[in-house]
């Protein structure tokens, strides 16, 4: 026979710190919400943080409250796996009611705000209750059904600061064993140069077996892993950490004796957060592209950049409610923050209550004396009066706008307002939507607004919307002793802007469903993460190009990743989550949709976004604000409902409670969103190859590589001519062969230089009167007035007068003349929307081609291998690039040893070829000056060879 249960499932998102407020009184509407067991519930709140104390329900209220031995935690286990920033955590607790009478067993855990719960199970004496995720109204309907039969549990929703409480309470008969298990997932954000994974560890009682087990798997490699002892000195030396190159394992397993507060205590000392901090290796600036299971994740967190100057305006609420600790802490924080301004920064201060006062009329330079004066000003503030938020923010935008109009803002600088307030507006414009509209209208696109809400009287939702809408970020601050350090930490996160206007580009034809890919700012210590789906069926490599403005340059950073690169690594690790890319994508997408919904101007659009979020939630099995979790036994005749905290801040518990329920903290601050590091072989442009034989090549920017097999040397040089110009490569009047190449330019300059490439190659075989034109679009053969062509989408050949043109679809074309002379042209395709690069061609000419001794041209002149001597090798300016003297045809000049790319075997990355580099467009090595090789037409012979 089935035992009879009474369930009470509470989702309590409460300010832990405001419990003292709650007990002052309980409004009727909260009673209604709680629905049952209100008194028992409250008694627990009053008792504070004990998690498994027995509640004084009516039947037992006369008994002694010391029942602590009668409820036992048999085991309490936390397992967490972080796979490339994706943390999946399980908390499992096995509890038994050792008493003879029924008791409430409570399972209460805190999960980080913003994490998505994906599973909850409960096993009561062998009967397993499993969870399913349902659209909210559907879940409520199912719940109501069960309730009609008297077999359902109640629900409470409310909110907390950076944690959310999940609370289940089950009334079970004596002797019953219950196992609770919850799973949740989140993406760990990089803040202040580290990832921090926090697990709330508050079992409430001694546990026979207590264990925290964390595994970190980071394909980029772990720079460090640190486990600060946040649980207290009591636990010194109990945590073990083993760290490998890319993996780490952390274990915390205090014995029963170690858990005790004191040797004779029956209460546990385990009551706090278990924290792991780490960072990953970042070798290259363009970030890391990780591709797995049809999704890519791009982590971008460049370092070693000079900070951009900033224009910063602090707007500080000094209304009466700030009086006391809050103001004292704010002053302390502001003095520290002002002290950190850089000499290149401009700043000012504004304080407001019902009036607005400006410390200075406009922005001033952050000189030591100005900073001192600002500190003195702050020190003298005495809070009083009302709160005129509208006026204060409009004045701040006015100051920035004016400075901009007067040309006082460095075009490379970042402008921001940091707004600090602890309450709703009480003076002037009171309507929040109107304030929002006013601010938005007056903020220019390149200004951002960051909002700090102190304490809980402030409408944090409003601050969040205000920040989101104006490219900033919002943070709530407790308003206690830690206010100052919290404010300083927040400031540190936005104090070092390193890049502006960051855009992430991917080949349109290979990727879809990309998350946000353009960002206003990147702040030092953070990370931008972009994700999307990628069609790996027809792809070997995925390339990305990030463009951004740094303090002294326009940056173009390329990353290239092999789509199978992670397969091997992932298959060898039994802990790594094979769905990490998909989960990260879903996490980012849902958070983004939630932010978009928050800002949606019309109800119709809101509904649409809600629908998308709901679909994501059901597809990926995660609880979002539009879904709820139904927990039921196998027969489906006993149900519980776990709902999300309410969306509507003022909806449930009017201010009297001191709880301001709010939307879970889903802001995606643009600065917190960046991600990292995939090596960008900036030089690794794509190019092809003609078998690995000695060969003369011109490829990529035009880099010429002249191979000298007899002396076993390669000589290379670059030609920098303008787009549109035509260069002669081979001109052999005796055999009647001409090869010319026409230059095209990249779409934009990179490092002050416009790269040029061959966009068209022309071959003229005079004796046959045949011309072949190879462009990046197609290959055309002309015989007098007759012309025929193949497109690069074809694989095929044309034969005419013993000349064979053979095209390998999207790769290369070989031209063979009479079976004895050959050329290969390789196509380098970049993606359609590539921000910088264009499609281009490389040409490979074997030295064995039977040209005449009179052959000339940039390549032709080296066809019979010339005598070259290189001597006096010596260290160069760059220790990796030795210098030497080259003697050639009577000239002596300095050459430098370097690497060039040969793309014959590795079409994408190229193969490094050691060569002696001749400077100044080949001066001294090529006959004459490079301009001597400019010809008027694609089929022109050189005039005076």
Ligand X SMILES: *[C@@H]1O[C@H](CO)[C@@H](O)[C@H](O)[C@H]1NC(C)=O
Contacts to ligand X by CB under 6 A: 119, 121, 181, 604-605, 608, 621, 689-691, 808, 811-812, 814, 824
* Smallest separation, CB 638 to ligand X (Å): 18
Residue 667 vs 812, nearer CB to ligand X? 812
CA angle 915, 918, 921 (to 5 degrees): 130
Residue 335 vs 811, nearer CB to ligand X? 811
* Smallest separation, CB 170 to ligand X (Å): 17
Query: CA neighbours within 13 Å on the CB side: how many for 170?
Result: 28
CB contact at 8 A, 499 and 308: yes
Residue 91 vs 199, nearer CB to ligand X? 91
* Smallest separation, CB 514 to ligand X (Å): 18
* Smallest separation, CB 601 to ligand X (Å): 10
φ/ψ (deg, to 5) at 243: -125, 125
CB contact at 8 A, 912 and 904: no
In order, the DSSP letters of 528-577 are EEEEEEE--TT-SEEEEEEEEE-SS-EEEEEEEEETTHHHHHHHT-SSS-
Q: In this structure, is the dihedral angle defined by the CA atoms of residues 706, 707, 711 and 717, taken in order, positive or negative?
A: positive
Separation between Cα atoms, residue 855 and residue 847, nearest integer Å: 12
Residue 692 vs 754, nearer CB to ligand X? 692
Residue 755 vs 775, nearer CB to ligand X? 775
* Smallest separation, CB 609 to ligand X (Å): 8
Cβ burial of 565 (10 Å; 0-12, 13-18, 19+) is middle
| Start-to-end Cα distance in the chain | 104
* Smallest separation, CB 806 to ligand X (Å): 9
Q: Is residue 825 helix, strand or coil?
A: strand
Residue 654: CB atoms within 10 A of its CB come to 12
Both tokens of 817, joined, read 């003349």
φ/ψ (deg, to 5) at 918: -100, 125
* Smallest separation, CB 311 to ligand X (Å): 36
Residue 365 vs 564, nearer CB to ligand X? 564
* Smallest separation, CB 620 to ligand X (Å): 11
Both tokens of 447, joined, read 């200004």
Cβ burial of 607 (10 Å; 0-12, 13-18, 19+) is exposed
Separation between Cα atoms, residue 896 and residue 873, nearest integer Å: 9
* Smallest separation, CB 121 to ligand X (Å): 5
Residue 679 vs 842, nearer CB to ligand X? 842
The side-by-side arrangement of strands in the sheet containing 222-226 is 190-191, 194-201, 272-280, 222-226
SS3 annotation, 45-82:
HHHCCCCCCCCCCHHHCCCCCCCHHHEEEEEEEEEEEE
Residue 246 vs 808, nearer CB to ligand X? 808
Residue 608 vs 683, nearer CB to ligand X? 608
Strands (E), 726-769: 726-732, 737-745, 756-765
| Residue in the structure block whose two tokens are 């074309």 | 813
* Smallest separation, CB 892 to ligand X (Å): 37
* Smallest separation, CB 579 to ligand X (Å): 11
Residue 170 vs 337, nearer CB to ligand X? 170
* Smallest separation, CB 212 to ligand X (Å): 18
* Smallest separation, CB 792 to ligand X (Å): 12
Both tokens of 11, joined, read 């989702």
* Smallest separation, CB 809 to ligand X (Å): 8
Q: Is 269 left (phi over 0), alpha (psi -120 to 50) or beta?
A: alpha
Residue 310 vs 597, nearer CB to ligand X? 597
Residue 93 vs 353, nearer CB to ligand X? 93
SS3 annotation, 248-311:
EEEEECCCHHHHECCCCCCCECCCEEEEEEEEECCCCCCCEEEEECCEEEEEECCCCCCCCCEE
* Smallest separation, CB 551 to ligand X (Å): 40
* Smallest separation, CB 118 to ligand X (Å): 6
In order, the DSSP letters of 465-479 are HHHHHTT--EEEE--
Residue 693 vs 881, nearer CB to ligand X? 693
Cβ burial of 20 (10 Å; 0-12, 13-18, 19+) is exposed
Separation between Cα atoms, residue 801 and residue 284, nearest integer Å: 52
Separation between Cα atoms, residue 241 and residue 277, nearest integer Å: 12
CB contact at 8 A, 163 and 87: no
* Smallest separation, CB 89 to ligand X (Å): 13
CB contact at 8 A, 546 and 287: yes
Residue 795 vs 931, nearer CB to ligand X? 795
How many residues make up the chain in this entry? 945
Residue 91 vs 863, nearer CB to ligand X? 91
Separation between Cα atoms, residue 629 and residue 617, nearest integer Å: 11
Residue 132 vs 194, nearer CB to ligand X? 132
Residue 110 vs 689, nearer CB to ligand X? 689
Residue 189 vs 621, nearer CB to ligand X? 621
* Smallest separation, CB 309 to ligand X (Å): 40
Separation between Cα atoms, residue 576 and residue 569, nearest integer Å: 9
Q: Is residue 872 helix, strand or coil?
A: strand
Helix (H) or strand (E) holding 799: strand 796-800
225 strand-pairing partners: 278
């Amino acid at each position: 026979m089935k035992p009879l249960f009474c369930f009470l499932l509470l989702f309590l998102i409460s300010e832990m710190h405001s419990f003292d407020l709650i007990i002052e009184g309980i409004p009727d509407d909260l009673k209604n919400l709680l629905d049952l067991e209100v008194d028992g519930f409250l008694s627990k709140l009053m008792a504070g943080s004990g998690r498994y104390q027995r509640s004084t329900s009516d039947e037992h209220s006369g008994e002694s409250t010391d029942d602590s031995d009668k409820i036992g935690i048999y085991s309490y286990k936390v397992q967490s796996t972080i796979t490339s920033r994706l943390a999946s955590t399980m908390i499992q607790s096995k509890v038994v009611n050792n008493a003879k009478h029924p008791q409430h067993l409570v399972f209460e855990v805190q999960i980080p705000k913003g994490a998505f719960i994906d599973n909850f199970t409960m096993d009561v004496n062998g009967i397993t209750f499993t969870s399913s995720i349902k659209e909210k109204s559907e879940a409520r309907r199912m719940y109501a059904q069960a309730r009609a039969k008297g077999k359902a549990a109640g629900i409470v929703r409310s909110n907390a600061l950076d944690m959310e409480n999940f609370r289940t309470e089950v009334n079970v008969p004596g002797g019953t064993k219950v196992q609770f298990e919850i799973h949740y997932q989140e993406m760990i954000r990089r803040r202040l140069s580290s990832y921090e994974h926090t697990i709330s560890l508050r079992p409430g009682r001694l546990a026979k077996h207590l264990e925290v087990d964390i595994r970190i798997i980071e394909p980029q490699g772990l720079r460090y892993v640190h486990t600060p002892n946040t649980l207290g000195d009591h636990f010194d030396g109990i945590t073990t950490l083993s760290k490998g190159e890319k993996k780490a394992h952390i274990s915390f397993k205090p014995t029963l004796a170690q858990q005790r507060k004191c040797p004779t205590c029956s209460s546990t000392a385990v009551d706090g957060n278990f924290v792991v901090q780490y960072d990953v290796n970042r070798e290259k600036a363009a970030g890391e592209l990780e591709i797995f299971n049809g999704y890519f994740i791009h982590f971008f967190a460049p370092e070693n950049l000079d900070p951009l100057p900033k224009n910063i305006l602090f707007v500080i609420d000094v209304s009466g409610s700030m009086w006391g600790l809050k103001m004292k802490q704010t002053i302390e924080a502001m003095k520290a923050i002002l002290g950190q301004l850089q000499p290149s920064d401009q700043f000012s201060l504004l304080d407001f209550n019902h009036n607005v006062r400006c410390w200075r009329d406009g922005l001033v330079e952050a000189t030591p004396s100005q900073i001192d004066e600002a500190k003195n000003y702050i020190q003298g503030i005495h809070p009083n009066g009302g709160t005129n938020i509208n006026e204060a923010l409009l004045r701040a935008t006015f100051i920035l706008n004016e400075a901009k109009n007067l040309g006082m803002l460095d075009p490379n600088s970042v402008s921001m307002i940091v707004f600090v307030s602890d309450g709703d507006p009480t003076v002037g414009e009171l309507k929040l939507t109107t304030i929002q509209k006013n601010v938005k209208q007056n903020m220019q696109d390149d200004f951002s607004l960051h909002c700090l809400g102190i304490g809980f009287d402030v409408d944090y939702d409003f601050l969040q919307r205000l920040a989101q809408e104006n490219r900033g970020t919002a943070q709530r601050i407790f308003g206690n002793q830690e206010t100052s350090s919290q404010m300083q930490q927040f400031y540190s996160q936005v104090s070092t802007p390193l890049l502006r206007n960051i855009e992430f580009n991917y080949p349109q034809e290979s990727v879809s469903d990309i998350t946000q890919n353009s960002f206003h700012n990147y702040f030092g210590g953070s990370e931008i993460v972009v994700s999307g789906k990628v069609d790996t069926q027809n792809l070997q490599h995925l390339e990305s190009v990030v463009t951004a403005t740094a303090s002294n340059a326009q940056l173009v950073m390329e990353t290239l990743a092999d789509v199978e690169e992670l397969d091997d690594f992932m298959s060898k690790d039994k802990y790594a989550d094979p769905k990490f890319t998909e989960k990260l994508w879903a996490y980012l997408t849902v958070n983004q949709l939630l932010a978009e919904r928050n800002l949606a101007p019309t109800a119709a659009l809101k509904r649409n976004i809600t629908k998308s979020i709901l679909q994501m939630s059901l597809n990926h099995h995660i609880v979002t604000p539009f879904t709820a979790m139904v927990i039921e036994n196998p027969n489906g005749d006993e149900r519980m409902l776990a709902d999300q905290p309410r969306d509507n801040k003022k909806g449930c518990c009017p201010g009297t409670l001191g709880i301001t329920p709010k939307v879970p903290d889903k802001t995606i601050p643009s600065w917190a969103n960046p991600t990292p590091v995939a090596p960008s072989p900036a030089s690794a442009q794509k190019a092809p190859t003609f078998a690995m034989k000695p060969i003369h090549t011109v490829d990529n920017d035009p880099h010429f590589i002249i191979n000298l097999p007899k002396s076993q040397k390669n000589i290379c040089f670059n030609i920098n001519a303008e787009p549109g110009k035509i260069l002669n490569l081979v001109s052999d009047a005796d055999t009647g062969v001409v090869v010319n190449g026409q230059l095209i330019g990249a779409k934009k300059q990179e490092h002050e230089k416009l790269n040029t490439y061959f966009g068209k190659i022309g071959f003229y075989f005079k004796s046959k009167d045949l011309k072949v034109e190879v462009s990046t679009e197609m290959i055309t053969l002309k015989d007098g007035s007759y012309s025929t062509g193949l497109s690069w989408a074809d694989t095929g050949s044309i034969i005419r007068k013993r000349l064979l043109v053979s095209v390998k679809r999207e790769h290369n074309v070989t031209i063979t003349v009479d079976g004895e002379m050959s050329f290969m042209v390789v196509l380098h395709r970049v993606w359609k929307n590539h921000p910088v690069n264009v499609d281009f061609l490389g040409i490979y000419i074997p030295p064995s081609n039977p040209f005449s001794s009179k052959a000339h041209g940039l390549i032709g002149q080296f066809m019979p291998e010339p005598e070259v001597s290189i001597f006096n090798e010596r260290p160069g300016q760059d220790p990796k690039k030795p210098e030497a003297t080259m003697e050639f045809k009577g000239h002596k000049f300095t050459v430098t040893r370097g690497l060039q790319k040969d793309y014959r075997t590795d079409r994408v990355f190229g193969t490094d070829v050691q060569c002696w580099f001749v400077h100044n467009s080949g001066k001294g090595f090529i006959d004459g000056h490079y301009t001597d090789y400019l010809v008027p037409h694609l089929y022109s012979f050189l005039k005076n060879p």
